[in-house]
Structure 1
């Protein structure tokens, strides 16, 4: 359906692709992987025709429809989320808009003299709407939005009132409703809670078109894709299998290439040694000449290109008392909504609690209560002896000084640290080379989140409270964070929609449901095994 043929592409001074080729065939579900800045979004834009390759071509079969979801959702205002989603479905959305305008006109007393004409036109438009299966389309649009965790009120309210994350879901729903021949999804798993993520996973599994997507969620990718295209040093390398297979295969390929390189180096050293030893002897002149010619003709094996992954090691945190935090008879309401009513909850040293619950269940509220960011209406929240708290929340990015560079901001926070450790810390979290001189105001949301996380972990607390810490982290940085937190000696309380993160780090689960609050010993994987579902909202 789509053929990428010998493309080369340069962005400003950066060479992204050099005579790279790949293909997307009917029914294939492909994960596109590569380090940040490798050119994933550029490839999507070349497929849609928004950008052209400098050389080569991207060929799309005739009459193939393409739906492209990216992180830039544009302006949304003046209509409901349902209408916005249906707008992506082509002609029916224009008819739906006219039908809505006519319904408004029919209830306008100032237009009574036009009523006959309005009603007649309404009949014509309604017939056309039915012909295009408009009512069925609206039902499907609501189904998709419900799958992405929209309430009826949010579906029918003005889309302009939604946050950026919810607008992303509206943009994603448009593509899903459209069901094009090819879907290009750039980070569709960002901004989704676990229930929405699992719903999307099931939707994409049953989608019969071709799919090319990027995702920083390895579990999500593993369950959907049957092929990986890797961007590596300007080339597109194709692997048949899921992300886990790709990782194992790449590691194996690197080992084989390294062994091949070492064998050739040993052979070359031996030949060169012979040449050096006998080049001055007339009796060996023919042999020396023969070996020199042989060396000239040999195709040199390159050593494998090592991916730069930097490990991050925690400084040891001071030890806390055995009781880290205690909540007794806690009540909390927001307006008419009761979030907690008589909550009793105790966290002890070295426990790692993950909080499970649907949107609005009170996950973030619990983190705010524990950290003192909000007060209970009734009851007490008390931190234990010698507890040093570190809290990562989405609003944590507000502490950044926009005028300071990354390095300056870190130096202000840690004046005694010295530049070398701070540069190493920045490198772990994806700020290498000149990036460290970027001013904080120009950083993306993801970069700001990474910087705040880096600062928090450099001076380690013994009680970490994390609200969606992996949002915006790429796969390599996420792996580094999981590895670092695995060796963390302190206590953790966290909310995450990343199942790999949940499974790797939790040893307790607190489940918030409308029926009550349940505590489970054992981590997320044991919770799934015991309950039979991956998230509380999925068994309702």
Structure 2
């Protein structure tokens, strides 16, 4: 359906693609992977015709419809979320817009003298809307939005009043409702809660078109895709199978390449030693010449590319008391919406408690109560003895000063630390060399998240409260964070929609439901096995 034929593309001084080729066939569900900046978004833009390749061809079969979801959703305002989603569905959305305008005219007393003509036109438009499946389409649009956790109120409210994350979901819903022949999805799993993520996973598994997507959520990727295309060093390499199989294949290929490289290096060293030893002897001149020619003709094996990886290491944190947080009889409401009535909870030292609950159940509110960034209406929240807390909030990155450099941001936080310590800290979080001089405003979401973590963890806390810490992190950084937190000696309370993160780090589950709070001993994996569901209110 789509073919990339010997494409080359340069972005400034960076060579993104060098005579690279790949194909997307009917029914294939492909994960596009590669390090940050490798050219994944550029590839999408070339397929959709927004950017041409410098050389080579992008071939799309005649009549193939393409839906492209990107992180840049543009402006949305002035109509309901349902209308915005239906607007992506072609002719039917134009007819729906005329129908809405006619409804307004029919209700307008100033147009009473045009009533007969308006009624006649409304009848024609309504019949056309019905023929195009408009009434069924609205139902489908609502179904998709409900799957992405929209309430009826949000569906019918002005889309302009929604936050950026919810507008992303509206843009995603447009593509899903359109059901094109090919879907290109750039990070569709960002900004989704666990329930929406699992709903999207099931939707995409049942979608019969072709799919090309990027995602930093390995579990999500694993369950949907049947092929991987990797961008690395300007080339495109295809692997059949899911993400896990790709990782195994890649590791095996790297191992083989390393062994080949080492064998060739040993052979070359032996040949060079012979040439050096006998080049001055006339009796060996012919042999030396033949070996020199042989060496010139040998195709050199390159060592496997070493991926730059970030490693976090926690300094040992001071020990806290055994009772870290005690919540007694807490009531909390926002206006008429009651979040908690008489909440009791005790979190003990070294517990790693993940918080699960449907949208609006009060996950972030619980974290705000524990960190005392919001007050309970009644009841008490008591922090235990010797507890030193650090809180990663969803808006933490917005609080960074855009005019400061990475280094200055760390220096502001730790004025007593010396330059060497701060540079070493920055390096641990992926800011090496000149990168510490980058201004905060030019950092990507992932870089900002790493900077916030560096500021949190230099002076180690013994109680970590994390609200969606992996939202902007790529897979490699996420793996490093999981490794570091696995060795962390302190207590954790966290919310995450990343199932790999939940499984790897939790040893206790706190489930918030309309019936009350349920505590499960054992981590997320045991919770899924015991309840038969991956998230509250959803069955596996």
Residue 389 (structure 1) aligned with residue 389 (structure 2): yes
Residues 1:175 and 2:208 aligned together: no
CA distance in 1, matches of 2:231, 2:104: 52
Matched residue SS, 1:536: coil
Aligned position for 2:518: 518
Q: Distance in 2 between matches of 1:195 and 1:72?
A: 23
How many aligned residue pairs are there? 540
Q: Following TM superposition, by how much is the alpha carbon of 1:428 offset from its aligned partner in structure 2, in angstroms?
A: 4.1
Quote the residue 1:329 is aligned against. 329
2:89 is aligned to: 89
- Note if 1:163 corresponds to 2:163: yes
Q: State the SS of the aligned residue for 2:150.
A: coil
Paired residue for 1:380?
380
Shift of 1:361: 0.3
Equivalent-residue separation in structure 2 for 1:396 and 1:262 (angstroms): 47
Query: Is 68-77 or 390-399 further displaced after alignment?
Result: 390-399
- Structure 1 vs Structure 2 CA RMSD: 1.3
Alignment of 1:20-99 (within 5 A): 20-99=20-99
Runs of 5+ consecutive residues of structure 1 not aligned to the other structure: none
Residues 507, 524 of structure 2: 8 Å contact kept: yes
Residue 438 of structure 2: aligned partner: 438
1:75-121 Cα shifts (integer Å, max 9, x gaps):
10110000000000001000001111111111111211111111000
Q: How far does the alpha carbon of each residue in 1:140-191 deviate from its partner, in whole angstroms, 9 at most, with x for none?
A: 1011000000011111111011110000000000000000011000000000
Q: Map 1:131-142; keep pairs closer than 5 Å.
A: 131-142=131-142
Work out whether residues 309 and 428 of structure 1, in 8 Å CA contact, stay in contact via their aligned partners in 2: no
State how far apart, in whole Å, the 2-side matches of 1:460 and 1:536 are: 33
Provide the rounded CA distance (Å) in 2 between the counterparts of 1:117 and 1:313. 74
Contact 1:428 1:477 in 2 (8 A): no
Q: How far apart, CA to CA, are the structure 2 residues paired with 1:424 and 1:243?
A: 33
**Residue 402 of structure 1 contacts residue 440 of structure 1 at CA under 8 Å; is this kept in 2?**
yes
CA contact (8 A) 1:394 1:449 kept: no
CA deviation profile, 1:333-377 (whole Å, cap 9, x unmatched) = 111111111111000000000000000001001001100011111
Q: Deviations over 1:439-470 (max 9, x none)?
A: 22333444323211221122210000000000
Distance in 1, matches of 2:183 and 2:534, equals 26
> More deviation in 292-301 or 280-289?
280-289
Residue 254 of structure 2 corresponds to residue 263 of structure 1: no
Counterparts of 1:111 and 1:439, CA distance in 2: 58
Structure 1 residues 170 and 507, CA gap change in structure 2 (3 angstroms): same
Contact 1:216 1:475 in 2 (8 A): yes
Aligned-pair CA distance for 1:399 = 3.4
Q: When the two structures are superposed, what TM-score results if normalisation uses the length of structure 1?
A: 0.98
Query: Is 1:339 matched up with 2:339?
Result: yes
How far apart are residue 304 of structure 1 and its match? Answer: 0.7
Provide, for residues 394-448 of structure 1, a one-character-per-residue CA deviation record: whole Å limited to 9, x for no partner.
2222432222111111122123433344334334434344432222233344432
Partner of 2:277: 277
| 1:244-275: CA deviation from partner (whole Å, max 9, x where unpaired) | 11111111111111110111111111111111
Report the alpha carbon displacement of residue 310 of structure 1 after superposing the two structures with TM. 2.5
Give the aligned partner of residue 111 of structure 2: 111
C-alpha distance in 1, partners of 2:208/2:423? Answer: 47
1:203 aligned residue: 203
Alignment match, 2:152: 152
Query: Residue 424 and residue 177 in structure 1: after superposition, are their counterparts in 2 closer, same or farther (change >3 A)?
Result: farther
2:53 alignment partner, SS class: coil
Distance 2:287 2:307 in 1: 41
What CA distance in whole angstroms lies between the structure 2 residues aligned with 1:34 and 1:444? 16
**Greater mean alpha carbon deviation, residues 33-42 or residues 426-435:** 426-435
| Match of residue 463 from structure 1 | 463
Cα distance in 2 between the residues matched to 1:477 and 1:239: 23
Whether 2:277 is the aligned partner of 1:294: answer: no
Alignment CA distance shift 1:421-1:8 (3 Å): farther
Structure 1 window deviating more from structure 2 (343-352 vs 390-399): it is: 390-399
CA separation in 2, counterparts of 1:247 and 1:352?
28
Cα distance in structure 2, aligned partners of 1:434 and 1:496: 32
What secondary structure does 2:236 align onto?
strand
Per-residue deviation, 1:539? 4.1
User: Match of 1:406?
Assistant: 406
* Contact 2:313 2:428 (C-alpha < 8 Å) held by counterparts: no
2:312 aligned with 1:308: no
Separation in structure 1 between the aligned mates of residue 396 and residue 60 of structure 2, nearest angstrom: 44
SS at match of 1:538: coil
Q: Structure 2 length as normaliser, TM-score? A: 0.98
The 3-state SS of whatever aligns with 1:250 is: helix
